[in-house]
């Protein structure tokens, strides 16, 4: 293991064990390096890496602190990275969505309230097959966001939001180019909502899988034929 990697692992172990808690200030660099048996340069590189990952917060003139470790903060780095992916990498993001969102949708079926379901129905009513594609995609994005939040797992919801954003362009392009895509999307949204209202986690998860897989299969076919998403 590289020296810097070892330093990162030792700092992470201190946080995971609770020796360093969210909001704690790290000891002086010289003292911490001695405690961990590391050189100050290695420790400095480890702190820099963990600050980029939003695990540590370096405050100039004040010191280095363990971050709040809140999901939104930790996952900002993931969002930053995935925005740089090329079109074919969107397939990998859709695969991640196909794994995560059904789980969230199944959890939401047991946790969301009847009022939540009514609010989802009102949201879906804001766009139909005659609406601009962008409006439909905006509704789609908010629909999935609310369900993810409704899962009751903040980390899961944040992860889904992070990987969903970069697939936005692909969904708009599908709506513009694939015959019947708008109606199919609307029908699939209603099917997911119906499963949620029935409080059937398994059915809700299946319908979420079918919905996301449709976009994934269209994109795979589009990229194989060399179509441009720009």
State the DSSP string of 65-94: EE----HHHHHHHHHHHHTT--HHHHHHHH
Reduce the DSSP state of residue 200 to 3 states and report it: coil
Domain 3-66 has CATH 3.90.600.10: no
* pLDDT at 86 (0 to 100): 47
Check if the beta carbon of residue 166 is closer than 8 Å to that of residue 189.
no
DSSP classification of residue 26: P
Within 8 A by CB and 6+ apart from 53, the residues are 74, 77
pLDDT of residue 111: 97
Structure tokens at 159: 């992860």
**Which residue is listed with tokens 């194989």?**
224
pLDDT of res. 230: 47
189 and 201 Cβ atoms separated by less than 8 Å: no
Per-residue CA distances from 54 to 9, 15, 72 (Å): 15, 13, 10
Q: Residue 84: how many CB atoms within 10 A of its CB?
A: 8
| Residue ranges covered by each domain of the chain | 3-66, 73-224
Position 204 scores a pLDDT of 97
> Is the domain defined by 73-224 classed in CATH 2.40.400.10?
no
Q: Which two tokens stand for residue 155?
A: 């980390």
In tens digits, what is the pLDDT along the chain, a chain of 230 residues? 455 667 888 888 888 788 888 889 999 999 999 988 888 888 888 888 787 667 888 898 889 998 876 655 555 544 444 443 445 567 788 888 899 999 999 999 999 999 999 999 999 999 888 887 778 888 988 999 999 999 999 999 988 888 877 666 666 666 655 667 778 889 999 999 999 999 999 999 999 999 988 888 877 776 676 544 44
User: Any idea what DSSP says for residue 177?
Assistant: H
Q: Report pLDDT for 200.
A: 97
Q: Is residue 105 a contact partner of residue 204, using CB atoms and an 8 Å limit?
A: yes
Q: What is the pLDDT of residue 1?
A: 44
Tell me how long the chain is: 230
């Amino acid at each position: 293991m590289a020296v810097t990697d070892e330093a990162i692992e030792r700092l992470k172990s201190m946080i995971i064990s609770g020796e360093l808690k969210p909001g704690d200030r790290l000891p002086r660099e010289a003292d911490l390096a001695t405690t961990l048996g590391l050189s100050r340069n290695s420790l400095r590189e480890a702190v820099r890496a963990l600050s980029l990952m939003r695990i540590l917060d370096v405050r100039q003139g004040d010191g280095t602190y363990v971050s709040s470790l809140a999901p939104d903060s930790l996952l900002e780095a993931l969002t930053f990275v995935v925005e740089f992916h090329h079109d074919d990498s969107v397939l990998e993001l859709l695969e991640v969505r196909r794994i995560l969102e059904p789980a969230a949708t199944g959890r939401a079926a047991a946790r969301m309230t009847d009022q939540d379901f009514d609010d989802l129905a009102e949201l879906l009513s804001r766009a139909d097959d005659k609406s601009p594609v962008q409006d439909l995609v905006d509704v789609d994005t908010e629909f999935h966001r609310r369900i993810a939040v409704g899962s009751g797992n903040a980390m899961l919801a944040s992860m889904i939001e992070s990987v969903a954003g970069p697939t936005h362009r692909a969904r708009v392009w599908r709506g513009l180019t694939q015959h019947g895509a708008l109606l199919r999307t609307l029908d699939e949204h209603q099917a997911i909502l119906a499963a949620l209202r029935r409080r059937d986690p398994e059915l809700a998860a299946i319908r979420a899988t079918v919905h996301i897989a449709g976009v994934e299969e269209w994109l795979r076919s589009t990229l194989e034929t060399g179509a441009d998403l720009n």
